[in-house]
Amino acid sequence: MDKKKLYTLALKFKRYNIQFEYDEKSKYLTFGKVTKVKRRLIKGLVILCISVFLLAFISLVNIPFLEKVLRYIVIFLSVIGISEIIRYFNYAAANKYKKFITPQYFIINSKDGDNEYDKENINDIIYEIDKKKDRSGQGTIYFELKEGGKIQILTLNDKNHVHLEDDFIYLKEFLEDFMQLIKNNN
């Protein structure tokens, strides 16, 4: 395997706090378990604590204008805090289990056991990106099976959806090359 491609892939996974390994002997590519995303949870909890503190402070203030402004700030902070916490749980759940890829098959390690998919059953690799108004985005890359189902490989979040799309294109091309998938031009 080309070391430059592996190094580039490792950097991309590192940016998203996704664990990544490649075993040269067995030709196993392992990724998927999230690392270091607890910062998002802590950030959300801190923001919620600040909004609770401001809510308590509002009850002490008897200035109508200041009270009204502080209520809007509390609502704003609460929405941000809750959204950060929700994003943390969604991201952690989507990338909870390790995935193993070899040139012949794909394995998802889960609490129910290992699910194995042969490369002959993979029709294509596709990705979907949910672009937000603030240019951020969340995307998921899938193996599309010949029988019509989709197997989720990875979910990623980024502040810039353009970077996210570039990374998904790179990951798709890397996996097609690594597994030697024949591209369908139907």
Tokens of 108: 């998802």
Cβ neighbors of 14 (< 8 A, separation 6 or more) are 20
Cβ neighbors of 23 (< 8 A, separation 6 or more) are 30
Is residue 152 a contact partner of residue 139, using CB atoms and an 8 Å limit?
no
Mean pLDDT score of the chain, rounded to an integer?
84
Q: Is a pLDDT exceeding 60 seen at residue 11? A: yes
pLDDT tens for 53-102 read 988 888 887 788 888 888 899 999 999 999 888 888 877 777 777 888 88
pLDDT at position 112, please? 79
Is residue 92 a contact partner of residue 37, using CB atoms and an 8 Å limit?
yes
List the domain boundaries for the chain.
3-35+99-178, 39-90
Average pLDDT over residues 21-29: 86
Q: Look up residue 51 and give its DSSP letter.
A: H
pLDDT tens for 41-53 read 898 999 999 999 9
Q: What are phi and psi of 133, to 5 degrees?
A: -65, -30
**Which residue type occupies 181?**
L
pLDDT tens for 138-186 read 888 998 988 888 988 888 888 777 888 899 999 999 988 888 876 544 4
Measured CA distances, 142 to 44, 97, 128, 138, 158 (Å): 29, 15, 8, 14, 18
Average pLDDT over residues 114-120: 85
pLDDT at position 36, please? 65
pLDDT at position 186, please? 41
Q: Look up residue 71 and give its DSSP letter.
A: H
Architecture of domain 3-35+99-178: Roll (2.30)
Distance, in Å, from the CA atom of 51 to the CA atom of 56, rounded to the nearest integer, reads 9
pLDDT at position 45, please? 93
pLDDT at position 183, please? 58
